[in-house]
Amino acid sequence: MNENEIETVEITKKYGGETVVNNLSLNIPTGSIYGFLGPNGAGKTTTMRMLVGLIKPDKGSICYKGGDLQQNKRAILKNIGCFIDTPNYYPHLTGYENLKYIQEILNMSIAEVDRVLKVVNLDFAKDKKVKEYSLGMRQRLGLAFSLLNDPDVLILDEPTNGLDPEGIYEIRNLLIHLSEVEMKTIVVSSHNLAEIESMASHIGMINQGNMIYEGSLKDLYESTLDEYTITVDNPEGVKQILKNQSISFSGQANQIVVKMSQDEAAQLNEILVNRGVKVFELTQSKKTLEDVFLSLTRKRSEA
């Protein structure tokens, strides 16, 4: 699966004098769930608006498998479902009627409406007026819109924003289903790292309009150092050994915390055992995407 569904080549967008998206090159593999991450204001929504042709980049190009977006806009957009900004509904109409209205304008099958309502689990509320929907139901209705006419690509801007954990869980499972069973390529943005961590196969992380990491989650974890907690019988002796080896550490009492790779951890364990230290425990703490994000942004600002 090396083929990309979407590639942007150094796209830039400025508002006023300010560069909001800076030379951003995205490579979104076909069939991936591509988590597009960044803090609020990083430029995610602006980028996604460009991906679906709502606004044009000032510079750079956007290519889909079907060709250049600007040159083949109609054909490409037909195959993209999107959820960007809070979708506008007619609040006095039911969920069903809102979807049917769009299908009529598009001159597409009305049977699709029932299908997408089922996929997002809104079947039970299809005859309820949208103004009576909860936030979670509205978000799911937004997803239902994006699924109309079965596009291969979904571009979803913070679809879990404002949802409670149960709502987030439901949307996550839905996206995993759409990816695994319906083989869609899904670009999903979030400012919440933990949320993306549990569903994405690939990620792009941006900060202030700049890419700070793009690739698979696996590679990202492997490329950054892990944190190990070592529990020993003789912490003062161990601290001296670490100092002699110029290894920095933190920690208290008989627990010592060291940032290192897996290989280094194995080597250190060997050194300690050879020096007669009793190593009761050597555990790797689970690194969250949050840790990785912070360490990457710090690296960038120090560079």
Tokens of 34: 């591509």
Give least dist CB 198 to ligand ADP, A.
Answer: 20
User: Do residues 10 and 24 make contact, with C-beta atoms less than 8 angstroms apart?
Assistant: yes
Nearer to ligand ADP, 50 or 137 (CB): 50
Rg value, the chain, Cα: 24
Which amino acid does the sequence have at 200? A
Give least dist CB 42 to Mg ion, A.
Answer: 8
Q: Residue 157: which of 250, 268, 262, 37 has the closest Cα?
A: 37
38 binds ligand ADP (CB under 6 A): yes
Q: Residue 214: which of 19, 14, 50, 38 has the closest Cα?
A: 38
- Could you tell me how many residues of this chain bind Mg ion (CB under 5 A)? 2
45 binds Mg ion (CB under 5 A): yes
Give least dist CB 209 to ligand ADP, A.
Answer: 7
Q: Is 129 exposed, middle or buried (0-12, 13-18, 19+ CB in 10 A)?
A: middle
Residue 50's binding partner, choosing from ligand ADP, Mg ion, none, with beta-carbon cut-off 5 to 8 A by kind? none
Nearer to ligand ADP, 45 or 98 (CB): 45
| Options 6, 24, 34, 43; binder of ligand ADP; rule CB under 6 A | 43
Contacts of 107 (CB under 8 A, 6+ apart): none
Give least dist CB 191 to Mg ion, A.
Answer: 8
160 binds Mg ion (CB under 5 A): no
| Nearest-angstrom CA–CA distance, 259 and 268 | 11
40 binds ligand ADP (CB under 6 A): yes
> Tokens 């980049």 — which residue?
57
Nearer to ligand ADP, 40 or 246 (CB): 40
> DSSP 3-state assignment of 5?
strand
Nearer to ligand ADP, 15 or 90 (CB): 15
Q: Which residues bind Mg ion (CB under 5 A)?
A: 44-45
